[in-house]
A = this chain, B = another copy of it.
Amino acid sequence: MAKQAQTTAGRAITFAQAINEALAEEMRRDPKVFILGEDVAEAGTPFKVLSGLVKEFGKERVIDSPISEAGIAGICVGAAMTGMRPVVDIMFGDFATLVMDQMVNQAAKTHYMSGGKLTVPMVMRTTLGATRRSAAQHSQSLHAWFSHIPGLKVVLPATPYDAKGLLKTAIRDDNPVVFFEDKMMYQQKGVVPAQDYTIPFGVADVKRAGKDITLVATSSMVEVSLKAAEILQASNISAEVVDVRTTVPLDKETLIASAQKTTRALVVDEGYERYGVTAEIASVIADGAFYYLDAPVKRMGAMDVPVPFSPVLEDQTVPTPESVAETARKLCGKM
């Protein structure tokens, strides 16, 4: 694959560095790009993802804001409508609750409502993922909400390579894009090309080829699914792992084709399971591969509970390689 060729020429960097590089390169390329958020400048965010950017670009382009999520999202909408390309930093995905009006009633609808005249080229970067012992208000994965709204694009990178390429695409896109980063992944390393590259939206990535079952995964659950595939290998089950990469636009063709080939599919995501993104993806596959499937499409999301603090409780709420492998095995009729 082209990707392989590219990556061999690259360097191993962390997911956090990939984000940082994407921002730095885009800010160098285009003076209209700027960052607005809480503790983004000297602190470089609590996750240190933006470290160093303020040094290169100054406090005028890496702007520390008050703790005003709705306000900063709204300001970015206005800036985007008038010639800038803002990147707003919403520290925890749980605070998405505070920006819904600006993202959904304003950013998402402006282009359409104006008959195509106004555009809102902004990116909202935020986080998802549990198991950090951060409890119910700092552990949610709320990408399903944004995926539901026409006018928004939603990106869920699962590797440093994808993170960098997809973030550059997001910044160059003329629409509001919501970009979710898994907090637990920031320190994971992966090979990333030295030269400029972008990854198109709406193209799922087969992260591992297989023939007995398709594991469709997003973000944090891609790695979990790859590990599950390893476990399944030992039971002689060959799992294909497909990373959707963007829930909107969704690469239905690749997902359906994979399920048609393997005849079985399990969709894994870290958002709450009920009414979550696994429901849409499973429906699409169950419909598109109906005449090929040997078993119902199954789904695994986070347990439908507010994320508990206690480690013994929290660890049960998120799919693990073992639980994914077990469900997959059952689905293949091998228990």
- Give residues in A with beta carbon < 8 Å to B: 94-98, 100-101, 104-105, 108-109, 112-113, 135-137, 142, 144-145, 147-151, 247-248, 250, 271-272, 274-280, 282-283, 286-288, 290, 293, 295-299, 304-306, 308
> Complex: how many Å from CA A296 to CA B293?
11
Provide 12 A-B residue pairs closer than 8 Å at the C-beta atoms, listed in order of the A residue: A97-B104, A100-B100, A113-B136, A144-B148, A145-B148, A147-B274, A151-B306, A248-B274, A275-B277, A275-B280, A283-B283, A287-B296
> Complex: how many Å from CA A80 to CA B274?
26
Taking A144-B275, A297-B283, A297-B286 as contacts, is the C-beta distance between A109 and B136 under 8 angstroms? Answer: yes
> Complex: how many Å from CA A299 to CA B279?
12
Contact between B112 and A148 (Cβ–Cβ < 8 Å)? Answer: no
What's the minimum C-beta distance from A306 to chain B, rounded to whole angstroms? 4
- Residues on the B chain within 8 Å of A296, using CB: 286-288, 290
How many copies make up the complex? 2
Contact between B148 and A274 (Cβ–Cβ < 8 Å)? Answer: yes
Q: Select one of B109, B112, B272, B287 contacting A298, CB under 8 A.
A: B287
Contact between B276 and A148 (Cβ–Cβ < 8 Å)? Answer: yes
- Residues on the B chain within 8 Å of A283, using CB: 278-279, 282-283, 286, 297, 299
**Nearest-neighbor residue (CB-CB) of A289 within chain B:** B296
- Residues on the B chain within 8 Å of A248, using CB: 274
Most chain B beta-carbon neighbours within 10 Å: one of A113, A149, A290, A308:
A149
Contact between B105 and A137 (Cβ–Cβ < 8 Å)? Answer: yes
> Complex: how many Å from CA A330 to CA B182?
42
Contact between A145 and B145 (Cβ–Cβ < 8 Å)? Answer: yes
> Complex: how many Å from CA A248 to CA B299?
18
**Nearest-neighbor residue (CB-CB) of A299 within chain B:** B283
> Complex: how many Å from CA A272 to CA B152?
13
List the 6 closest A-B pairs by CB distance, nearest first. Answer: A97-B101, A290-B296, A279-B279, A97-B100, A286-B286, A148-B275
Contact between A150 and B282 (Cβ–Cβ < 8 Å)? Answer: no
Contacts A97-B104, A150-B272 supplied; 11 other A-B pairs, CB < 8 Å: A94-B105, A105-B136, A109-B306, A112-B305, A113-B136, A142-B148, A145-B148, A148-B274, A279-B280, A282-B283, A287-B298
